[in-house]
Structure 1
Amino acid sequence: MKLLEVNPSKGEVKLRVEDEEDLWTLYTILRKGDLVRAKTVRSIAKGGSKEKIPMTLTIKVSDIEFQPFAQVLRIRGTVVEGPDRFGLKGSSHAIRAYPGKELTIIRENGSEDIVRKVKAASMKKPKVAVLSVDTDDYALAIVRGQGIEWVLEGSMQIPGKLDENREAIVKANVKELAKKVLEELNKRGIQNVVVVGPGFFKERVADELRAMGLNVKVDTVSSGDRVGVLEAIKKGSLGDVIKDLESVKALEVIEEAIKRIAKDRRDVCYGLEDCLNASVMGAIEKLVISDRLLHHENDEIREKAIQTIENAEKTRAEVIIVPRDTEAGERLRAFGDVVGLLRFEAF
């Protein structure tokens, strides 16, 4: 995310989206009621037909549509500024944000929070590929800040050891899998992949990927599917780089919260009301919250979620927002979409 201009007196921040991770950051920054100004295209009726005309519009945000790992973020709202000759004020419009898009966010109560989050997002964001594989299954995932993107999954369909064609089938399947992995990584500009799995089969796949020019690290986990990928993340197979990924940190916080709850400890909170109360006390050390609450259709729930985040950030808590459809987001649902680790016993 590139910070282009800041006008603190007007609460304006102009920025440029540079990649799809920035779309997730933008989604976590925007609030209902913010103003967003950008160049856009609007269909205008002319002589019985409609013509798409480029123009600059400012909308008051009412809804934001986000899909994890997508290339477009749709920001919907009501037009508050635009060319007078088209009479668009008060009408609905959606501004599309995508890599390369420039837009301005205007917030009534100041731009400091926006600037801070944009600056944090401007740092290079790592992406790590992990392939879990055995003679039965495989799963390829890209681990990034917003979560785990499941790219490929399937069966190796390798016959038993007594089949006389087994070796030929193994070679063909390994080569085909390696080709698929290379295509997916090339799309995303990734050259490094961690190959994990039980036994020695993973080594054959790793050798094939090396022969195709990829940098490969190998480690052992118990299975060759999604479970293997998650096990690799948990045990640290992906190296030091994953320590900086919020998606990994979120899973670690959730695991720790589960352990504390199982031991009936009182230095943990979950559910919006308890976490809000803990944030008021300045008790939260780490908070993981789903975007489901941050952009909830119920105004009261949404405002409580925002207040919980703001309170936690004021007391220097680590706050991680996760997409609802990711691994961390799905696990959060059992806890009311928010969980926190506390500095002291608060309940």
Structure 2
Amino acid sequence: KRVSIYKDKWLRLHLDLLERAIKPKSSMLIVLVDQEEFELYHIKDEQYQLITRGYLGANRKLTGTSEAICSKSLYEAAKLIVEKIRELSPQHIIVAGPGFFKESMLSKIRELNPALSPKLIVAKTSSIGVPGLMECLRSESLQKVLRDITIAEDNRVIESILEKLAKEPDMVAYGLSDVEKAVSYGAADLVVVSPSLMSAHRDAIEQLLEICQKTGCKYRIIHSDSPSREMLEGLGGIVAVLRFRIS
């Protein structure tokens, strides 16, 4: 369903926030697997692309020989998937499908490249193919996992800023007036804003983030459910990591 939104003036910030809201937060690879075959999809910018598919050769009653063949096929499939992961550098990798084969595939991928473990997510679908892909993307479990990943990243960012504040206090600005000053000087490298401050001072924050875009300063609005939100509120609801010291 198409929705039209009208405003007297569109700031580049508004368009950026809309794009973030309607598009996936990051690129991801989705591996769909059942007892007979696997498929690998790349999801980016609201588009999905089938990268590859293959046959695993399993049947419902695995004999010793067929189980060995299936294990080899699973290994070869996982090896191909790991190569594609290296090539495409997705931020998230979801392994999904019916039955237990998704866990087997997950284990093989982890075995081939243990460093991928933090990116790996397992999800359940009733089928593979495009119906299974759509089911995976709509699943509450996947949405919850992606939300938790966002919150974990929020926490990591805030903890990093607090460490910098403790070690180099003159390289961090906090509170709206000090951050506005840092941004106006072009000294801010990263600005982090709490959702409550965004709501209370929307016009001022939008203008500030618009300047951030013009000066190449990155910005992040913390998720409302992030535990780190309270720490950010203690710093006035907004903080900036500086490129250089200002008096």
TM-score by length of 1: 0.36
Structure with greater proportional strand content: 1
Structure of greater relative contact order (alpha carbons < 8 Å, 6+ residues apart): 2
Larger radius of gyration: 1
Higher helix share: 2
